[in-house]
Chain A
Amino acid sequence: GAVVSQHPSWVICKSGTSVKIECRSLDFQATTMFWYRQFPKQSLMLMATSNEGSKATYEQGVEKDKFLINHASLTLSTLTVTSAHPEDSSFYICSAPKPWGAAWVGETQYFGPGTRLLVL
């Protein structure tokens, strides 16, 4: 079945550096992907919608200049946390909608396994 992958699965970086996280749809095309953030013992909160070939749409309160999103191809979206700080430490999860026309079975979104970011 369709799979969404993320790379890296975890990353530790120093404060002030930038970190890039990749989200790939492995056997289907995704014109739209979503980025979520999850703090410990909390739920997933949508950060932004990544649109292939156009600008990302950010949720209220999410700094677009800090969380740069690039959806350069139909199978790849990247999230770059610029000038990361300890408060950016979190679990970042991407998802992609099930392709239109796919069998209406089970879930409607495919989620990546997540990337754990720790900023020291």
Chain B
Amino acid sequence: SQQGEEDPQALSIQEGENATMNCSYKTSINNLQWYRQNSGRGLVHLILIRSNEREKHSGRLRVTLDTSKKSSSLLITASRAADTASYFCATPYNYGQNFVFGPGTRLSVLP
């Protein structure tokens, strides 16, 4: 069953603006991962944050994790048209062998 839920489902912003996507999950986790998917393409791993971490950065990406609220956020700063894609959070289960994906946020960055 799907346990990750994301909001917003769709987000449209202007180039240069920041984009924030949120993810909620239901069960305990030891890590949470964010992926990007360009239209009709495979998944690209963006970042992994462990349950004992509260914030993590990677380039223009900033991820937070609040295990008490079972939620995570992905912030993309200074967005570019190339950031247009769907973004999914994924939480592992089955001893980390598999994932449950959130429904995703479709981000459109307008030039």
Interface residues of chain A, those whose CB is within 8 Å of chain B, are 32, 34, 36, 41-46, 49, 91, 93, 95, 97, 106-109, 111-114, 116
Interface residues of chain B, those whose CB is within 8 Å of chain A, are 2, 31, 33, 35, 40-43, 45, 48, 88, 92, 96-104, 106
Q: Which residues in A have their C-beta under 8 angstroms from that of B2?
A: 43, 45
Task: Find B99's partner among A42, A109, A113 (CB 8 Å cutoff).
Answer: A109
Instruction: Please name 14 further chain A to chain B contacts, defined as beta carbons within 8 Å, in addition to the given A36-B101, A111-B43, sorted by A numbering.
Output: A34-B98, A44-B101, A46-B98, A46-B100, A97-B96, A97-B97, A97-B98, A106-B48, A107-B45, A108-B48, A108-B92, A109-B99, A111-B45, A114-B42
Distance in angstroms from A50 CB to nearest chain B CB is: 11
Interface contacts (Cβ under 8 Å), in number, total 51
Interface residue SS majority, chain A: strand
Interchain Cβ contacts under 8 Å between A and B, 22 examples: A43-B2, A43-B101, A43-B102, A43-B103, A44-B88, A44-B99, A46-B98, A49-B98, A91-B40, A93-B42, A93-B43, A95-B99, A97-B96, A97-B97, A107-B33, A107-B45, A107-B48, A108-B33, A108-B96, A109-B98, A111-B42, A112-B42
